[in-house]
Amino acid sequence: MKARLVVLASGSGSNLQAILDACAEERLEADVVFVVVNRRSARAAQRAEEAGVPVAYRPLGPFRDEFPGDIRRARETYDTALACEIAEVHPDLVVQAGWMHLFSSAFLDRFPGMVVNLHPAMPGAFPGAHAIDDAWAAHERDGLDHTGVMVHLVPDEGVDDGPVLAAQRIDIAHDDSRRSLEAKVHAVEHELLVRAIGDYLQR
């Protein structure tokens, strides 16, 4: 029986596309059964629709409006509502593929050992939303000669620091630019994420 994947994305959805392609080509014994985006402009929604996968737009904004000045309560209420919606499709794995939202335990406790995240840095390096920019700044400032990509479990509210499922180093060449480094990172992301999902599902 194929595994059921829910994919969460906030941007272009190129990593979602890599997963969809791997499923279609049977490189992954899985199906994407639901996609959630939290930004109206996210091209990931279009990619899901083109693949015939149900997609939902679920922004945090309305919850911030409901609880002005209490971002913690807004996040937890949002996370609880989203967890309930995702639970209805009975996922085997929830994949954060460029998902710009830090989940609270209100979400994570609903899916123990089932949430994985893709992060464009090596374990322990450059946590947060600007990892590629941070690596490039370190290269220009200190001569940093590599960065990387990792896929890790998300067991708690820590930022990009859960148990690592896979990681790959990416060298920063002397003739790289910020743009070429980002292209390298994305190319590795697409392969590493698919491989890590497949390996984890077969554990």
Residue 56 sits in a domain whose CATH number is: 3.40.50.170
Catalytic residue numbers? Answer: 119
5: which strand partners? 32, 93
Range of the domain at 83: 3-201
Contact 127, 135 (CB under 8 A): no
Q: How open is the CA angle 136-142-146, to the nearest 5 degrees?
A: 50
Region 139-165: mean pLDDT is 96
- pLDDT, one tens digit per residue, over 38-61 is 999 999 999 999 999 999 999 999
Looking at the predicted structure, is the pLDDT value of residue 1 above 90? no
- pLDDT, one tens digit per residue, over 45-101 is 999 999 999 999 999 999 999 999 999 999 999 999 999 999 999 999 999 999 999
Number of folded domains that form the chain: 1
Contact 86, 35 (CB under 8 A): no
Looking at the predicted structure, is the pLDDT value of residue 203 above 90? no
Which residues lie closer than 8 Å to 93 by C-beta, 6 or more apart? 3, 4, 5, 6, 30, 114, 115, 116, 197, 200, 201
Mean of all residue pLDDT scores within the chain: 97
